[in-house]
Amino acid sequence: MKKMMMSFSLAGFLGIAMMSQAVAQVNVKNAWVRATVGPQKTTGAFLQIETKNEVNLVKVESKAAGMVEIHEMQMDGGVMKMREVDKVNCPAGKVTELSPGGFHIMLMNLKKQAKEGDQIPLTLSFEDRQGKKQVVSINATVKSMATSSTPMTMH
C-alpha cells in the first residue's frame, strides 16, 4: 500500500512539474493597452509572445471588458480592414508581435475608462499541435495613444 501511495505521489509531482514546464514555454512581454478618452468603450491591447515550441494564441479574456477578440488589420483592395481571427500562430524560437496595424487584441464594452497608468488583466490561452493548452495571465499597463510598447507585469 505504501509503495502504491508513493507511486501516486510521484506521478502527481511529475504531472505538476510537467505542467509548470509547459506553461514556462510561452513568455509574454511588453504588454500595453491604449488609453481611452471619455466614454470610449473599445481599445486595443498589444504585446510580444516568445515560445520554445510552436503554439497558437486561441483566446484572450479580461475582466476589464465585456468582450475580447483577437483581430488582424489587413490591406484589402487599397483599404485597411480589421477582422476577427480564430488564432494567431506563434512559431517556435521567434517573437510574435501583436501591434497596431497588425494582429492585436480588441477589448470591447470596457467596464470603465482605461486611464494611463492603469493595469488591465489579460488571460491568454495557447494551444500546441497536440491540443495541449497553456494559460498565461498578465497585467498590461495602459499607455497614451503615442506609446508603442511598455513593460508588463506577470502574476
3-state helix, strand, coil in the chain (%, to 5): 15, 50, 35
Q: Kindly state the cell numbers that stand for 25.
A: 514555454
**CATH fit for domain 26-154, picks 1.10.274.50, 2.60.40.1890, 3.30.420.480, 2.60.40.10:** 2.60.40.1890
**Percentage of residues of the chain with pLDDT beyond 70:** 78
One-letter amino acid of 138: I
What pLDDT score was predicted for residue 2?
52
Cβ neighbour number for residue 71 with a 10 Å cutoff = 17
CA distances from 56 to 80, 86, 95, 124 (A): 24, 9, 13, 10
Tens of pLDDT along 18-61?
443 444 489 999 999 999 998 899 999 999 999 999 999 999 99
Give, for 21, the enclosing helix (H) or strand (E): helix 2-23
pLDDT of amino acid 146: 64
Q: What pLDDT score was predicted for residue 24?
A: 46
pLDDT single digits (tens) 102-132:
999 999 999 999 999 999 999 999 999 999 9
